[in-house]
Structure 1
């Protein structure tokens, strides 16, 4: 792996996981030393992160992890709706019905009362995303979806765990997968729309709760 790719992968993971929270200063000299790379590959890595909107440059040598607030999340979901509803429609028209039927069956068997069940769910969602990408067979659309998913990891980290919402999300993804397996493009798009509406509402409510708790602390 190239030094720039290694630096990019490490910084991306740290930003998405919250190790490097919004506002963290990524000074060039310190980060290059910490990551064990020279400044040139570090700059390449930071450039890729900047292009994705995950960092912003305050000066030629100082970059900070970008902030994310409720308005940013709403804008992200506006794009997400346009992309994912279209992708669901195309998947229903072009995708492997067997693949999506298997995912729907897997989701039906998910049990969320144990950590293993939650891990199974997230693994199925990764399979679902990959199946969507394969089905749409559109490099421009899948590239845009990958960018959105990169930001979604950060957004989900900001929200509190909500068992009821997770259970609802399992059911919503099951309906989407079932609709795609049946070749029902209209239902697939509508089910995706409902899922994203509910996901956004839950995330924004969680952020409000976090801000309220922080204000009371």
Structure 2
């Protein structure tokens, strides 16, 4: 792995997992030493993060981690609805029904993965990631798939703002199962509707939790 790629992945992970908080200054000397790379590949990594909106230049302070506000969350979900509803409809037209039937079955069993401990929830998020990957592959549109992958970087970060409670995750698993079921049934309109419902409920939960904080 190239040094710039190593630095980029490490910093991105630290940002989306909130180990580097909004407003944190990413000093070149400090981060180079911490990540074990020279300053040139670090600058390349910071440029990529800035292009993705995870960091920004702050005048004389250098590069800092960007903040996420309620307004940002609204904007992200506006884009998410546009992209994901279209993707679900395309997947229903072009996808492998058997694959989505299997994913639906696993998602219906997902409440068993949603326990009180992180390892189990990690398995649940992995299952949701497989659904995302299956949709990306099914739509056969590399531009739309890339746009959704870029958006998900911010969505993972936003998700950390919400209380990761079992009740919401269990409901979300059912919503994901409904999306997979509609795609398997080759019903584009139902796939769009199921995606819209999931996004509406996710946004309401995120905003309620964020406001409570």
- 5+ residue gaps in structure 2? none
Q: Which TM-score applies when normalising by structure 1? A: 0.93
What residue in structure 1 maps to residue 38 of structure 2?
38
2:58/2:64 contact within 8 Å kept = yes
What residue in structure 1 maps to residue 136 of structure 2?
133
Q: Which TM-score applies when normalising by structure 2? A: 0.95
Distance 1:120 1:33, change over 3 A: closer
Measure how far apart 1:114 and its partner are. Answer: 5.4
Alignment root-mean-square deviation, CA: 1.3
In 2, Cα distance between the equivalents of 1:108 and 1:131?
17
What residue in structure 2 maps to residue 98 of structure 1?
98
Count of equivalent residues: 210
1:156/1:203 contact within 8 Å kept = yes
What residue in structure 1 maps to residue 20 of structure 2?
20
Spell out, residue by residue over 1:110-137, the C-alpha distance to the aligned partner (whole angstroms, 9 max, x if none): 2134546533321210110110010011
- 5+ residue gaps in structure 1? 211-217
Structure-to-structure mapping, 1:32-181, within 5 angstroms: 32-59=32-59, 62-110=62-110, 111=112, 112-113=114-115, 115=117, 117-181=120-184
Measure how far apart 1:61 and its partner are. Answer: 7.2
Spell out, residue by residue over 1:51-89, the C-alpha distance to the aligned partner (whole angstroms, 9 max, x if none): 100000113771000010100011000000000000000
In 1, Cα distance between the equivalents of 2:96 and 2:38?
46
Measure how far apart 1:22 and its partner are. Answer: 0.6
What residue in structure 1 maps to residue 209 of structure 2?
206
